[in-house]
Each structure stands twice: as C-alpha cells, then as structure tokens.
Homo-oligomer: A and B are copies of this chain.
Amino acid sequence: MPFVLKEIVYMEYCGKVVSSRSKYAPPGGHRCYRQVAHEGNCHETPYLAHLSSVEPSVARKIGRDAVMTTGAAWASEDAGPNRIRRWVMLYSDDELRGLGIHMADLKPGIQAKLRDKAATYEDCMRVAQKLTALVYGMPNAPTPPDDIRAYLQVVTGDPITENSTTCLVCLDLLDFRLFKEARRGRAEIETAHRNPRKHTLENVGFAHRPCNIAQGDKTLEDFYAWIASILAKVKAAGSSRPLK
C-alpha cells in the first residue's frame, strides 16, 4: 500500500512573529499563518477561529495534538513536564537542560520515546491545518465559513468534502459526535499517524481510540501486515488450537 504524495499548493503566509514570550516558543518565534498582506491582526491559527467559537473543546484538541507530545504514559516525577512541545524535542540535551528538561536523568527508552515525537514548528502548524480540515470533513461536523474552507483547501491541497473523513486505521467514517463521547475518561477519537515517528501533514489523521491503541508504535503498513499474520496463524491453528 504505497502512499501517493499528492501535489500540495502552498499559501504564501504573512509570517510575522505573533508571540515569543514563552520559554518554549520555537527558535524563530510563533508566526502569523494568515495570508501575506492580510488586513487586521496577525494570527497563528486563523483557520481555527470558527471551530474555537462553535466547538471549543475540539479546537483545543487540535491545537494540543498538533503541538504537544502525549506524555501521560511516561510521566513521572523526574521525567520533566508531562507534555512537551514537539519542536523542543529537536533541541540538544544541553539546550533542554536550560529549559529544565534533564534528558540524561531519563531512562534511554523514555528518551527515545520523547525524541520520536520531535517535529519542527512548521510541521506542527501544518498538522493543525490538516486536522482542522479533517474535522470539517466528518459526518455531523459544523460547516466551515467560506473563507476558512478556502484557506484549508489551499494549505492542505485537498477539497473539504462532507462525510469523507475516515479512521486512519480501520477506514470507517469518523462521526464528529465521537469527540463528545468518552469511555472511562478517554475521548473516542485520537490523532493518529501512518508512521508514529513522522508528525507531518501527509502522515497524520484521526482514528478511533481502540484502532490507534492497537496500531501502537507500528507504522500502518506494519500494523496491517502484523494483524494479517495473526489471522493466518489463528486460521492455521484452527480447531486444533490447544486450550492453554
């Protein structure tokens, strides 16, 4: 199942620095992602304005998943902050020490897991654009205003088609209302990656929580090959499979 990279039309962004007060700000500062020569104020995520107004929790999830590592699984007292901006994981151990993140204090496996989540600021911003476009393509999603629809279509290179967004893993349509559902405190839709070590526009999507968990740290291709091998072994064992 080769991934065909479609031609993507880039938008010329304004690019002005909008805010750099946080010690975790990217090296060049947070940037304005409105179109160059726009009127009015600069904004890093102008395409989230509508969703932030009508579905703020979903907009916050996009902003969080695009930028932050998921850290709950490795959180411990000496692990540093629970969630870390992905571009921060591109810094050297020395630079991280200056931010209060002591990589050398962590087990090699946890260090590797953190480093796996690294992504440039630019990729994080493009992921946020892609996730927003995917949300608008979900059944029962709100309808985007025309300007945001046009923006997202240009920056993702894809038209926004209603009722088109599918689970990255099982390919079933993902209903927007699943964002509201949570079982045992966990949302039923998660941000997912074809290759968990590539946080890029081409590589991200949404998935059902059980699908994303089952995929684990495998690439989608490896996951499909793995479950096919399980089914082949189960079939081969058939009814002769010992009960043990």
A contact set with B: CB distance below 8 Å:
1-6, 73-74, 107, 109-110, 112-113, 134, 137, 158, 164-166, 169-172, 182-185, 202, 205, 210-211, 213-214, 216, 218, 224, 227-231, 233-234, 237, 239, 241-244
Contact = CB atoms under 8 A, between A and B. Distances in A.
Nearest to A168: B244
Contacts of A244: 134, 137, 158, 164-166, 205
B227 A110 contact: no
Contacts of A243: 3-6, 202
A210 B202 contact: no
A185 B107 contact: yes
Contacts of A224: 230-231, 234
Contacts of A216: 210, 213-214
Contacts of A228: 231
A74 B184 contact: yes
Contacts of A183: 109
Contacts of A170: 229-230, 233
A4 B211 CA distance: 30
B134 A241 contact: no
A109 B184 contact: yes
A182 B184 CA distance: 27
A46 B16 CA distance: 72
A190 to B, nearest CB: 13
A107 to B, nearest CB: 6
16 contacts: A1-B241, A6-B243, A109-B183, A113-B184, A137-B244, A166-B244, A169-B230, A171-B230, A171-B234, A171-B241, A202-B243, A210-B218, A211-B230, A213-B213, A224-B231, A224-B234
